[in-house]
Structure formats: C-alpha cells, structure tokens
C-alpha cells in the first residue's frame, strides 16, 4: 500500500511539474502578445507625441507670420532668440540623436518580428520628421524675430535676397 501511495505522489508531482512546464512553454510561445502590446503602446505613444510636436511646429510658423503686425522691438535683450536657439539645438543635438540610436536598436532586438520592426521604424521616422520640422520652424521663428527687431530699429522692414545679406545686415548693425 505504501509503495502505491509513493508511486501516486511521485506521479502527481511529475504531472504537476509537467503541467507547469507545459504552461510555461505555452506562455513562451505566446509571448509575442507581450511584444505586440509593447510595440503597439510605443507606436501609439510616438503618434501622440508627433501630434504635439506638429502643433508646436505649426504654432512657431504662425508666430513668425504674425510678427510683422507688431511695431515694437520684441526682444531687445535677446532672451527670446537665445531661448529659441537653445530649443532648436536641443532638438537637433539631443532628441534626434537619441531617437536615432533607439531606432537603430530595433533591428538588433531578437524579440521583434519583421512586422514589429516595420511598425516601429515608421513610428520613429515619422516622429523624427516632425521634430525636424519643429526645429526648422523654431529656427525660422528666431530669424523672423531678429529680422523684425532690426526692421523696427531701422524704421523700415528690410528685404534680403539671400542669407548672406541678412548676415551682413546683422553684422553691420552690431558694428554700429
């Protein structure tokens, strides 16, 4: 009788272990659901951030276009243009390089399938493109503030045919 109970206990333990191993291996086989969820959350987050960045970019353009309505110097102490320059530099020198490294790591992640990689690459590229637009529009806003203030100080709005003319005008105004 004791031998039968020992055999049953051992069989139950083996069955329990077998069941645990089966459950574990099935979870491992279905772990792509976890990866898919992580990919989906990342793609959705990038899409949301892209919309915010697009809003900032469009607002910078709108502000630049509205500067000609103001007849006063806007930034006599260069606070605005310095802040805009820092913003554009942060985007160009910190955010985009960081996202580039993350995007490049996608292809080295063994848990990602090809369709996951494609989704992530698209999300990163779209978000990075929005950041690049924001940076360019921020630089354009900075330039518009400088041009506006120079025009107000001179009493007329200058028209430049090239970036060199703008540069020379700024340089000349500093010398005077």
pLDDT in tens, 61-104: 999 999 877 788 999 899 999 999 999 999 999 999 999 999 99
Across the range 41-52, mean pLDDT stands at 94
For helices 96-105 and 114-154, give the axis angle rounded to 10 degrees: 170
Distance spanning both ends of the chain, measured CA to CA: 110
Does the pLDDT of residue 151 top 60, yes or no?
yes
What is the pTM assigned to this prediction?
A: 0.69
Which ranges constitute the DSSP H helices of 1-113? 2-29, 32-66, 79-90, 96-105
Residue 160 region, left (φ>0) first, then alpha (ψ -120 to 50), else beta? beta
Mean pLDDT over all residues of the chain? 84
Q: Is 79 helix (H, G, I), strand (E, B) or coil?
A: helix
């Amino acid at each position: 009788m004791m031998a039968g109970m020992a055999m049953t206990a051992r069989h139950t333990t083996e069955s329990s272990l077998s069941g645990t191993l089966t459950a574990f291996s099935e979870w491992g086989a279905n772990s792509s659901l976890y990866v898919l969820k992580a990919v989906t959350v990342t793609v959705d987050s990038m899409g949301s951030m892209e919309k915010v960045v697009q809003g900032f970019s469009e607002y910078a353009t709108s502000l630049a276009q509205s500067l000609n309505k103001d007849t006063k110097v806007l930034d006599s102490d260069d606070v605005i243009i310095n802040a805009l320059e820092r913003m554009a530099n942060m985007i160009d020198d910190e955010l985009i390089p960081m996202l580039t490294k993350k995007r490049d790591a996608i292809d080295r992640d063994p848990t990602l399938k090809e369709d996951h990689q494609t989704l992530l690459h698209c999300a990163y590229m779209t978000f990075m493109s929005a950041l690049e637009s924001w940076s360019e529009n921020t630089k354009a806003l900075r330039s518009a503030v400088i041009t506006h203030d120079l025009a107000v100080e001179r009493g007329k709005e200058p028209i430049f045919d090239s970036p060199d003319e703008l540069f020379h005008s700024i340089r000349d105004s500093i010398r005077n």
